Structure 1
Amino acid sequence: MSSVTAVPIAPTKRSYLVWIWVGIVVAIAAAVALAWVGTSTQAVRDSLPNDKFLAANKSQANVIETASGLQYEVLKEGTGASPTEGDVALVMYKGTLRDGTQFDASQQPTPLPVAGMIPGFTEALKLMKKGGKYRIWIKPELGYGAEPRKDQQGREVLPANSLLVFEVELFEFMPQAQFMQMMQQQQQMGGGMPGGPPPGAEPPQGR
């Protein structure tokens, strides 16, 4: 008759079990506390006036502030030259308020006249390089100021003194004269201008 010899495992002492459970409880409590601190810190920052929010935001890692007060973070560094005010830039973008409410977004790469945007957006485009992606914070003085923005139906799109947050990816840019020539050729061939209304372009309401 054959038999199976099992290697016995020493029983765990009750005191060890207690310490194991204490450790688990402490770890869970610490994780919950960290999540709460992170959430509450963000909530506190979101409730601050614009100037204090920007002062706090500037202290975040990788956030850069320019002389004008524009703040940006490089999410992906591009290469080569940067657009000038005489160029048209081909970008993807998403615009939100400080609380994350989205008010605008491109559905496809959209051509934007660099000089035709709100000041903060223009400045940011001139900092970017082809292939780059930035997150930018535009204070009201570099955006739409104290005037609320409304759409064509009269609905408020942006409250007065809105601080705007954009994620912008730059695909390409070219001189405006070259772009206009391309558009004329497309129109002659039955095409049109790609993309929708640009964010921050003047003077359309709601942008």
Structure 2
Amino acid sequence: MKKIIITLMLPLCAVAGNAQTKAKTGTAKKTTATSKTPVKPAVAVFKTTLDSASYAFGNTMASSMKNDGLNSLNYELLVKGLKDAFGGASPQISPEKSQMAIANLFKTVSRQKHAPAIAAGKAFLENNKKKQGIQVTPSGLQYEVINRGTGIRPKATDTVLVNYKGTLTNGKQFDSSYDRNEPLSLPLNGVIAGWTEGLQLMQTGSKYRLFIPYELGYGERGAGADIPPYSTLIFEIELLKVNGK
């Protein structure tokens, strides 16, 4: 999980003026003065290094948070939190609840940011499970038997030797042991949940195609540059050997 940095953000206030005038006859008429020129933010005055650094902290960290999809905060409470920490006051939220609140906020923002990808993955799986030969487990994992082997099935505590190819739902390949001409040995309890579950369905010598929802894959984080957050994944996997624990 990426390191979360709290940022100081200062609100910019736009000022509009309302003018009331009275006619010479004594009848009061209310008029509103509206400027067509955008109000520019107040220019900061930096008298010391502390001033410059304080502004830099707020601007730099807020820009980073904005890039992650967060567009605003409760500035009053943000400033209070900073003052309490610098002033040595007891926090009004425990460290555990603080981390949970921050994590939940970024999770909500991330889901909103990637809503199209989440919807596309869900639609793909809904359509895919209607195809002939597709089976669905209670967890939501979908699989198709390409070749059924006759050997033993691995347990979650076993190490297995596999060949595989992984793609996104748009067909883009992100990994392949076939291209490397080198099967992969791995412990089943050390991989994504979709693999742990799916490979236990297979007998040695089998080749399956797994369709893995993001919850059973790399989730909200994704993996590297090739697997975006909330990605539904497709794997063709050959179970070559079960090596035991």
Give the TM-score range, shorter chain. 0.5 to 0.7
The one of 105, 123, 128 equivalent to 2:176 is 105
* DSSP-derived class of the 1:85 partner: coil
- In the alignment, what sits opposite 2:227? 158
Q: Write out per-residue CA displacement over residues 97-124 of structure 1, whole angstroms, 9 at most, x where no aligned residue.
A: 0011010111222111111110001101
The one of 147, 167, 181 equivalent to 1:96 is 167
| Offset of residue 81 of structure 1 | 2.3
Distance in 1, matches of 2:169 and 2:143, equals: 14
Distance in 2, matches of 1:145 and 1:87, equals: 24
Distance in 2, matches of 1:57 and 1:136, equals: 11
- In the alignment, what sits opposite 1:8? none
The answer to whether the 8 Å contact 2:153/2:201 transfers is yes
Distance in 1, matches of 2:222 and 2:189, equals: 22
Report whether the alignment pairs 1:51 with 2:122: yes
The one of 65, 70, 82 equivalent to 2:153 is 82
Give the counterpart letter for 1:69 in structure 2.
G
Unpaired runs of 5+ residues, structure 2, are: 1-116
The one of 207, 222, 243 equivalent to 1:148 is 222
Distance in 1, matches of 2:232 and 2:160, equals: 23
Unpaired runs of 5+ residues, structure 1, are: 1-45, 151-155, 177-207
Give the counterpart letter for 1:164 in structure 2.
L
Q: Write out per-residue CA displacement over residues 3-41 of structure 1, whole angstroms, 9 at most, x where no aligned residue.
A: xxxxxxxxxxxxxxxxxxxxxxxxxxxxxxxxxxxxxxx
Q: Which has the larger radius of gyration?
A: 2
Give the counterpart letter for 1:94 in structure 2.
K
Q: Write out per-residue CA displacement over residues 148-190 of structure 1, whole angstroms, 9 at most, x where no aligned residue.
A: 322xxxxx121111111000001110212xxxxxxxxxxxxxx
* DSSP-derived class of the 1:128 partner: coil
TM-score by structure 1 length? 0.58
- In the alignment, what sits opposite 1:73? 144
RMSD (Å) for aligned C-alpha atoms: 1.7
Give the counterpart letter for 1:119 in structure 2.
A
Q: Extract structure 1 runs of 4+ deviating beyond 3 A.
A: none
* DSSP-derived class of the 2:236 partner: strand
Kindly report which structure 2 residues correspond to 1:110-129, keeping only aligned pairs within 5 A, or say none.
110-129=184-203
| Offset of residue 86 of structure 1 | 1.4
- In the alignment, what sits opposite 1:136? 210
- In the alignment, what sits opposite 2:237? 168
The answer to whether the 8 Å contact 2:124/2:169 transfers is no
* DSSP-derived class of the 2:231 partner: coil
Identity of aligned residues (%): 46
Q: Tell me the matched-pair count.
A: 126
* DSSP-derived class of the 1:56 partner: helix
Q: Which has the higher contact order (CA 8 A, sep 6+)?
A: 1
Distance in 2, matches of 1:80 and 1:143, equals: 26
Kindly report which structure 2 residues correspond to 1:194-205, keeping only aligned pairs within 5 A, or say none.
none
